[in-house]
Each structure stands twice: as structure tokens, then as C-alpha cells.
Structure 1
Amino acid sequence: MLIVTIEARIQARYADLSPQERRAADLILDRLDDLALYSSAELAEMSGVSPATLSRFYRRLGFESFTEVKEMARNLRDQGVPVGPDTDPERAQHLDQEMKNLRRVFEGAEDRLSQMVSSIAQASTVLVVGLRNSYPVALHLKQQLQQARPRIRLAPLPGQTLSEELVDLGRGDVVVLVGFRRRPRGFGTLVEVCAATGAQVLLLADGTARRYAASADLWLECPLDSTGPFDSYATAMSVVAALADGVLAAAGQAGRQRVNRTAELYDRLDELDLR
């Protein structure tokens, strides 16, 4: 893990660093989440040390140059590793970033959202697949869609393999693949196998999944950018709400009747605390 390695190297050598090098080290540790945005000269100015001191500091950490450090930082952040300053991000900055993420989706992909709604509403069976950190988003999508229409399934189920869930799919069905970064290996093969079933494949993911988009029928990019170390799934959950709203609207009276029947069962089984 590259940025973790940077942190580990700094911590291992911190006691032996000169006062100026410690100033540079402190700044880098505070800027790990956006380190790739700065030049070496900018970091030197921000830390109050000379460019030569900063260059020596990189070499003491085992890097050839700041370019190598930036590339490592960029690669790891793109992989979704939670790195960044120990300080809590300003709430205003957090809100601003969330709004940017939402605008990127809802101002740039209205047609694709509508197409996804139509595909889900008209499908015979809808299988929602989510692995690792994509599973909560997939589960929420399944739960919402299930209130609007029948034959909504989720995979993988406990104790089941994906193969068992894919075997009955064919033309007229839809697979919604939720594939946010830090996916397990073999995700590209999964996309291809889903497409080979004949079902329509809808891909819901962040920008790191662009390379899989060609194997999907429709794909929607949900940015996970945040001001802190962890990815934000607010946009993904908002897209889930938009898809479910659209499918319920497309279901018309049948959808409303299904919602009412479900509510009656909740009441009969006394399953929900509605007070």
C-alpha cells in the first residue's frame, strides 16, 4: 500500500530527521489525501524549507523524486484507500464536495438514468449484484425496488455462489452490477459472464470501472470523491433513490397496490417500529 508505505517510512525515520525535514514530513502527512495536486516547489514553500531539503527528504524515504511520490499517492487514492489528515474536514467543504458529486451525476446523465429506469421496470427478473463495499448499495437498491415490482433478487446470498444466481438469467432479464472501487479480482470477468447470459447489464460504479463499461449495456458513473480519507457513497445512495422512484412511477397503479400490500403485511406481522 503506497501511501501507507509513505506514512510508515516517515514514522520509522522521524526521530532522525532534521528540524527542517520534520517540517516537510508534517506537511506531507497532513496532505496525503491531496498530495498529488501539489508540485514539489509548492510543498517546499508551504513547509518553509528549501527545494533541496525536500529533495533530500524524498531520497531518505527511498524515492527517486517527488514525481514518484505523487504517482504513488494518486494511484492509491484512486484505489479508495482511506488516507488523509487526522483532522476532521470542515463541514462546509464536505457539503460542497457532496454537491459537486451529485451535480456530476444528475446534470450529466439524465438520459442514462431514464434508460436504466425503463430497463428495470420492463425486465422479467432483476438481479442486483454487489461485492464487498458495493454490497450495502446493492442491498438498498434491492430493498427499494422490491417494493415497486416483483422478481427482484440480490446476489451473492450467504452460502451461495454467483454462478447459482446467474444460471437462470436470459433475454428479458436485467442484471444491475454495483461495482465501486476496491472491487474483488475477477470483476471484469463477472461483467462479461453476466453479458453472456443474454440479460441486459446495467453497471453502477465509480470512474475506476470505465474499463468495464464496454461490456455493459448501460453504465452510470457515481463519483465517490470526498474531503476526508474515506469514500463517500452519498451519490450512490441518491442514485438508488432516483432509480427506485422512477421504477415505482413506471409501475403505476400496480406499483402503488404492491406498496400498500407490503405495508399491510408490515402491520400484520408487527415488524416495524412506526411510532
Structure 2
Amino acid sequence: MDDDPVASRLSAVYPDLPPGERAIVRVLLDDYPFAALGSLRALAERAGVSPPTASRLFDRLGYAGFAGFQSAVRDGARDRSRLREFVTRSPGMRRAAEDLRAGLDSTLAAVTEQLLDSVGTLLSQAASVWAMGGPLSELAAEYLIRQLAGLRPGVHRVPGSAPARARALLDLPGPAALVAYDFRRYSPGTARFAEAACARGARLVLITDAWESPLAARAETLIRLPPEAAGPIAPLAHQIAVTELLLVAAAARLDPARRLADLDELTQAL
């Protein structure tokens, strides 16, 4: 479902919807795509809302009513079916899929329970948490920040410019945690900021590749992705998978229910 544009769009807009429309989205995502293929009334009844409420959701999303939404869902299902057929028939694509799966399995196996316990405790207890990455891995850092900020306060992305980074270091509250993603070709900017932050007492969690970032010696916790996770395009999926595990470990040590409820309420009010 993650590769379906309609489902991805529903997930993206969910936090900004009013409660009735969020109920519709939950039903759709919990039983996708089948929940989208019945009648509008049946969908509304499953969500416990009125048909007009359900209809407003599809108008809001820009579809030509519920019929237009259903058409988009069916088109997406046909496209995925063609993609699966292509992958099955193409030896090159099949090999690429197998390599990606093997790399992901090796990556998850490398993140031991001891590592998760250490990082989960740090991310939940540090006075503040900062994250940064390189040209591609900054996407994983951004994902960590966005998700963790919903679970606890004091979570920040390391800014990009030198003056902004200097101000961040100047006011770095302690004890701070810094999560750095650093892969070949290693980022000098990441190294400079991490070195300066560690000199000011920050505790470094480094996520790197099998060949190790120059920051490895500085890291309090080192998560090294195995060689199988490497490739000509350095799959982001492996970095995101590790990030998901770290978030789960942190969430298990927090009690975010009240914060998430307040966040949802405030989002609707603004």
C-alpha cells in the first residue's frame, strides 16, 4: 500500500482533517483498497459518519466526487498489477528486488536489542535531541525529527547555514543527543558540527555504512549498516528502516498519548 499514490495521499492529509473525515480515512487505510470499492453509504456507515461527511472528504481531496476517487483507486491497483508483472518477467528487476530485500534483512539484523535499548533511552531522556544528515541521508534525519517531535518536546533539526549552526551550538542545552546520518561520500559539514557538539557535551549516535564515517571514533553509539545494505544508489529504505526501529524504542520509553492528543486538538484549532 505504501507505493499507492492514493493511499499515500490519504495518509499525508489525515492529520489536517476534521474528526469525521479522519474516521473515513482510517476505514479506507485499514481495509485498502477494498473499503473504497463499495458504496458511499456503506463506507460512511463503517466510519460512523453521515454520507455528506464522507462526500466532503473526496471533494476536499480534489476528486470528482466518490466516483472519481474510486476510479483513481482502481487505476492505482491496475498500475501495481502491471508493475508486479514487469518485475516478475524481468530478471534484472527481480534481482534488484532480491538485493533490496537482502540488504534490508541484514540492516535490521544489525540493529541489536542492546543498540535499541541504548538509543531508545537516550532519545527519550536527553534534554534535547538534534538530527542531521548528508545530501540524501538528511531525509532520514528529517523523518526522525518529524516523528520524534510528536512524541516529546525539545526535538530539532540541525540548521543548514554556518551562522545558524553556530547559534544552535551556542545555546545547546545539555545533556543533548545528536543523531548523525553519515554515509559515503562522508560530509565534512556533518563532521564539523558533530565534533563541535561533542566538545560541548552532546552525546553522539552515529548511523553510518560498513566503511564507517570518520566520526565513528566520536560516537557514543554506533549503528553500522552492513555491506549488503550498500549499493549504487545507496537505498534510503535501509536508513528509514533503522530510523523506524529507533522511534519505536524511544516511544516505548515515553508516554506520548496525551501529547499526541493535544497536538491533534491544536492542529484542528489552527
TM-score range, shorter chain: 0.5 to 0.7
Distance 2:161 2:193 in 1: 18
Q: Aligned ranges for residues 196-207 of structure 1 at < 5 Å? A: 196-207=199-210
Task: Note if contact 1:205-1:222 (Cα within 8 Å) is conserved in structure 2.
Answer: yes
Aligned position for 2:104:
102
Task: Note if contact 2:141-2:157 (Cα within 8 Å) is conserved in structure 1.
Answer: yes
Q: Equivalent residue of 1:107, what SS?
A: helix
Q: Aligned ranges for residues 21-100 of structure 1 at < 5 Å? A: 90-100=92-102
1:239 alignment partner, one of 236, 239, 242: 242
Report deviation, 1:192.
2.2
Distance 2:106 2:200 in 1: 32
Task: Note if contact 2:137-2:239 (Cα within 8 Å) is conserved in structure 1.
Answer: no
Between stretches 199-208 and 98-107, larger displacement belongs to 98-107
Report deviation, 1:170.
5.2
Q: Normalising by the residue count of structure 2, what TM-score does the alignment of the two structures yield?
A: 0.59
Larger radius of gyration: 1
Distance 1:251 1:127 in 2: 18
Task: Note if contact 1:113-1:220 (Cα within 8 Å) is conserved in structure 2.
Answer: no
Question: Quick one: structure 1 residues 194 and 250, their matched pair in 2 at CA, closer, same or farther if it must change by over 3 Å?
Answer: same
Aligned position for 2:230:
225
Gaps of 5+ in 2: 1-89
Gaps of 5+ in 1: 1-87, 270-275
Question: Quick one: structure 1 residues 231 and 260, their matched pair in 2 at CA, closer, same or farther if it must change by over 3 Å?
Answer: same
Question: Quick one: structure 1 residues 91 and 259, their matched pair in 2 at CA, closer, same or farther if it must change by over 3 Å?
Answer: farther
Aligned position for 2:61:
none
Distance 1:109 1:239 in 2: 7
**Could you give the per-residue CA deviations for residues 97-156 of structure 1, whole angstroms, max 9, x where no partner exists?**
222222223223312122111111110111112232222111111001001111001112
**Could you give the per-residue CA deviations for residues 189-224 of structure 1, whole angstroms, max 9, x where no partner exists?**
433222111111111122233442111111112354
Give the superposed CA RMSD.
2.3
Aligned position for 2:263:
262
**Could you give the per-residue CA deviations for residues 39-74 of structure 1, whole angstroms, max 9, x where no partner exists?**
xxxxxxxxxxxxxxxxxxxxxxxxxxxxxxxxxxxx
Q: Normalising by the residue count of structure 1, what TM-score does the alignment of the two structures yield?
A: 0.58
1:180 alignment partner, one of 180, 183, 200: 183
Aligned position for 1:169:
172
Task: Note if contact 1:138-1:154 (Cα within 8 Å) is conserved in structure 2.
Answer: yes
Task: Note if contact 1:175-1:200 (Cα within 8 Å) is conserved in structure 2.
Answer: yes
Q: Equivalent residue of 1:148, what SS?
A: coil
Task: Note if contact 1:176-1:201 (Cα within 8 Å) is conserved in structure 2.
Answer: yes
Task: Note if contact 2:108-2:241 (Cα within 8 Å) is conserved in structure 1.
Answer: no
